[in-house]
Structure 1
């Protein structure tokens, strides 16, 4: 199992959290997604390390952006 934390910008409500969770969960190997709305932290658990580009693409598909 691998675990990574990313910071997502632009989320303001529960719908934002649901959208990001839904898109990131679609990445192959992802087993869990935990989003903290106040901080924008997105903790992703997966069967193997993920490429940041894959996470960035999923977050952008949801309409938001990774910080940094």
Structure 2
């Protein structure tokens, strides 16, 4: 398992938290959003889910993942 924290721009409320965490979960990873920090910490099995897939899932919800 790998753990990474991504900076995510545009999150401001509980709906944002649910959207991001749900998108990450849907592709087989687990995520915990920190609204104050504007980030999400994701745990994933790199043999099953790629970092690019995680970023794409978050961006499809309308948020920007900073590099």
For Structure 1 versus Structure 2, the TM-score category normalised by the shorter chain is: 0.7 to 0.9
- State the SS of the aligned residue for 1:38: coil
Matching residue of 2:51: 52
Which residues of structure 2 form unaligned runs of 5+? none
Matching residue of 1:22: 22
Which residues of structure 1 form unaligned runs of 5+? none
TM (normalized to structure 2)?
0.84
Matching residue of 2:6: 6
RMSD after superposition: 1.5
- State the SS of the aligned residue for 1:57: helix
Pairs aligned (count)? 66
- State the SS of the aligned residue for 1:16: helix
TM (normalized to structure 1)?
0.83
